[in-house]
């Protein structure tokens, strides 16, 4: 990537206010203690998912649901997309081309804070949805109508595959910071997504578009939601997350998100780089295999833990991995914050400056090119390191709380705690391993 910073930020283990070993051990102990506290104080399910929430004023719901407002948001998303495509197609092939930062930072990383602050807004902002909607109007057919029926068993597996494809592009692909490579990937993404929508209707976006599914999952951590009666509501922390429905491919999706982020930290470690460069295999081959291994590791360990939890609680059922998958979403969110916060702040600024000159020909359309890059955050490496540790730990704590509430709802009361032990072990392992990978460089 055309970036001046390590992908996982500025701070290092030497910047922590306490020895690194104590920080890692304390994080693991904090997760374990939270399990004990929850077991003593939280014996009945408290979350009601999509049935819950305090309704916002009716005028807010009417405004958000109005055709005029939705078309305004759609056209904003489409205009930004087309503007970025000018840089992709006609801009020069060098690092000042804003398309690299636009895709790798503003879209991929920026989707998280946008979804957290505004909820599932990407479903309306998504430019490919808008293009499909315009095509449907041109063909005079409902956007939900397709030539074929989308199989239910397919679920989110296409989106999980898309996440793997994008993270492979971002972290492994050779020459990924060149226009031809990015043009080829985005061309395939646009063609596959739009062709699938024409074939199966607009439901294809919510099951196969990796960016939309990713943003929708992150939006489950937002306090904003829509109740079963259609009203826009504000909810307690994590209650929105409880409304995430189990479906095929959901476990694969969260495993791809968590595993790819873990690989990101691992791929920047000096041990991996030194070993990989001294082998007879290419970095692309080794990186691809390592990325697959990390994703499969999360998939296997998490699924095994949930299935074992069912056996220990006499609630053995094959659906348990999907029913607990929502608890992995805050863990993935914590890793994203820890790995990419400083990247978004610093390289996001640089991208906005470059966007003022999409063709890199000296033009300054919006005036942002006159703004300087504020690098003041680099003077606070200790604060950054603490934020990284807290992000990982808080993400796991939220995961433990979500898993506990689901466990007391599904498992017999006298065996709910015993059933959670495998999940606890896995989450403590993810916490310790995540911190080791985060500060491994």
pLDDT digits (tens, 9 = 90+) for 252-299: 999 999 999 999 888 888 888 888 888 888 999 999 999 999 999 999
Chain-wide mean pLDDT for the chain? 87
Q: What is the mean pLDDT of residues 238-251?
A: 94
φ/ψ of residue 233, rounded to 5: -140, 165
Q: Which of 371, 376, 378 is nearest to 350 (CA)?
A: 371
Other residues' Cβ atoms within 10 Å of the Cβ of residue 50? 18
State the pLDDT at residue 363: 55
Q: Residue 132 and residue 78: Cα distance in Å, rounded?
A: 11
Rounded-to-10 torsion of CA 289, 291, 294, 297: -50
The set of residues, in sequence order, having a beta carbon less than 8 Å from that of 240 and lying 6+ positions away, is: 49, 219, 220, 221, 222, 223, 224, 225
Give the predicted TM-score (pTM) of the model: 0.91
Q: Could you read off the pLDDT of 343-364 as tens digits, one per residue?
A: 888 888 888 888 887 776 655 5
* Ramachandran assignment for 233, one of left (phi > 0), alpha (psi -120 to 50 degrees), beta (any other): beta
Per the CB < 8 A criterion, the answer to whether 400 and 42 are in contact is no
Tokens 């063909």 belong to: 139
Q: Residue 121 and residue 143: Cα distance in Å, rounded?
A: 19
Q: Residue 379 and residue 359: Cα distance in Å, rounded?
A: 33
């Amino acid at each position: 990537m055309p970036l001046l910073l390590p992908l996982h930020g500025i701070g290092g283990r030497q910047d922590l206010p306490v020895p690194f070993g104590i920080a890692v051990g304390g994080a693991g102990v904090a997760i374990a203690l939270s399990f004990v506290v929850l077991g003593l104080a939280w014996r009945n399910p408290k979350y009601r998912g999509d049935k819950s929430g305090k309704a916002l004023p009716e005028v807010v719901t009417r405004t958000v649901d109005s055709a005029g407002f939705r078309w305004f948001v759609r056209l904003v998303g489409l205009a930004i997309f087309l503007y970025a495509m000018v840089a992709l197609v006609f801009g020069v092939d060098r690092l000042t081309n804003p398309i690299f930062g636009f895709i790798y930072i503003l879209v991929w990383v920026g989707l998280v804070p946008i979804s957290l602050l505004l909820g599932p807004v990407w479903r309306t902002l998504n430019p490919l949805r808008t293009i499909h909607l315009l095509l449907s109007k041109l063909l005079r057919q409902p956007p939900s109508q397709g030539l074929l029926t989308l199989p239910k068993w397919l679920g989110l597996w296409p989106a999980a595959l898309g996440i793997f494809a994008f993270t492979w592009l971002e972290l492994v692909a050779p020459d990924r910071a060149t226009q031809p490579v990015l043009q080829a990937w985005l061309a395939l993404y646009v063609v596959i997504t739009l062709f699938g929508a024409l074939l199966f209707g607009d439901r294809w976006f919510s099951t196969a578009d990796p960016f939309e599914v990713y943003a929708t999952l992150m939006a489950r951590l937002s306090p904003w939601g829509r109740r079963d009666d259609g009203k826009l509501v504000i909810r307690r922390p994590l209650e929105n997350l409880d409304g995430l429905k189990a479906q095929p491919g959901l476990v694969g999706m969260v495993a791809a998100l968590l595993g790819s982020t873990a690989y990101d930290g691992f791929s920047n470690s000096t041990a991996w780089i030194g070993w990989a460069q001294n082998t007879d295999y290419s970095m692309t081959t080794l990186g691809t295999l390592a990325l697959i291994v990390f994703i499969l590791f999360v998939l296997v360990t998490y699924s095994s833990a949930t299935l074992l939890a069912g056996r220990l609680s006499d609630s053995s059922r094959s659906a348990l991995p999907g029913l607990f998958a929502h608890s992995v979403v805050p863990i993935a969110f914590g890793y994203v914050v820890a790995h990419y916060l400083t990247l978004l702040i610093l390289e996001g600024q640089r991208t906005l400056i470059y966007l003022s000159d999409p063709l890199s020909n000296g033009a300054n359309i919006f005036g942002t090119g006159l703004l300087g890059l504020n690098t003041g955050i680099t003077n606070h490496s200790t604060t950054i390191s603490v934020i990284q540790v807290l992000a990982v730990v808080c993400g796991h704590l939220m995961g433990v709380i979500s898993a506990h509430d689901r466990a007391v709802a599904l498992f017999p009361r006298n065996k709910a705690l015993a059933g959670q032990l495998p999940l606890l072990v896995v989450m403590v392992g993810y916490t310790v391993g995540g911190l080791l990978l985060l500060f491994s460089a």
